[in-house]
Amino acid sequence: MTQTLSSVGFRAWWVPVFAMAVGTAALTVGADTGDLPFFVHAADDPFSAGWADAYANADLQIGPVQLLLLALADALAGALSLSTFTLLAFTVPLGVTALFLLVLRRMLGDPGPLVLMAAGLVFAGLGLPAAAYVDGHMAQVVVPLVWLLAGLKAREGHVVAAGGLIGISAGCELWGMLGVVVLLLAPRLRDAVTG
């Protein structure tokens, strides 16, 4: 069975999007990432003997979900003999780009690969995924995308999944709980309360 170049390109629309995300991410390696070094250092606390004091420092502004993800990234970077920040410089933008494309595809139905590719290229080309890493506060990009996904789930009547997504967003940063209002998109008010 022979494949034409156009059919291969049609299925691989995401390749240029992720290439753009990697390209913009490469520009951020070694950048000043604000609070991120403090957050990465604090990610060790929940897995130490002093786990109960993980939030004793009032400057720690991220939730346990984000702490867990940073601890996992730190462990993976150690296993790969990489700098944690080099690993995060690429994995955060790639993850944010993937989440954006997932939400966009869910919002638009099946808009077709050219629409997804164009939107993804604009999103990545503007440096929004890379900014999630450089700003050191990944939740500022991730949480609103999770809210959109939760709103879509609620509208479809999957309120438990929507509530779980709001819980994850609140676990990233406490203000993520504000997304609870998207549960009102549920078909019935009783469902919103369940969520």
- For 29-53, the pLDDT digits (tens) are 888 888 888 888 888 877 777 777 7
Query: Given a cut of 90, is residue 175 above it in pLDDT?
Result: yes
One domain for residues 33 and 95: yes
Are 88 and 36 contacting, i.e. CB atoms less than 8 angstroms apart? Answer: yes
What's the angle, vertex CA 25, arms to CA 42 and CA 67, rounded to 5?
A: 20
pLDDT tens digits, 49-67? 777 778 888 888 888 999 9
CB contact set of 140 (below 8 Å; sequence gap of 6+): 132
Asked whether residue 8 is assigned to any structural domain, the reply reads no
One domain for residues 47 and 130: yes
One domain for residues 130 and 43: yes
Q: pLDDT band at residue 5, thresholds of 50, 70 and 90?
A: very low
What DSSP designation does 7 have? H
- Cα–Cα dist 31/25, whole Å: 10
Query: Given a cut of 50, is residue 1 above it in pLDDT?
Result: no
DSSP string, 83-116: -HHHHHHHHHHHHHHHHHHHHHHHHHSS--HHHH
Asked whether residue 161 is assigned to any structural domain, the reply reads yes
Tell me what pLDDT residue 121 has.
Answer: 96
- Cα–Cα dist 44/67, whole Å: 8
Angle between helices 64-79 and 159-172 (to 10 degrees): 70
One domain for residues 128 and 152: no
Tell me what pLDDT residue 150 has.
Answer: 96
Tally of CB atoms within 10 A around 68: 14
pLDDT tens digits, 113-135? 999 999 999 999 999 999 989 88
Residue 128 belongs to what domain range?
A: 13-137
- Cα–Cα dist 150/90, whole Å: 26
Tell me what pLDDT residue 20 has.
Answer: 95
Tell me what pLDDT residue 10 has.
Answer: 60
Query: Given a cut of 60, is residue 80 above it in pLDDT?
Result: yes
One domain for residues 180 and 92: no
Asked whether residue 5 is assigned to any structural domain, the reply reads no
If you average pLDDT over residues 66-93, what whole number do you get?
93
One domain for residues 24 and 88: yes
Asked whether residue 128 is assigned to any structural domain, the reply reads yes
Rounded to the nearest integer, the mean pLDDT of the chain is 88
One domain for residues 91 and 162: no
Are 2 and 103 contacting, i.e. CB atoms less than 8 angstroms apart? Answer: no
Query: Given a cut of 50, is residue 3 above it in pLDDT?
Result: no
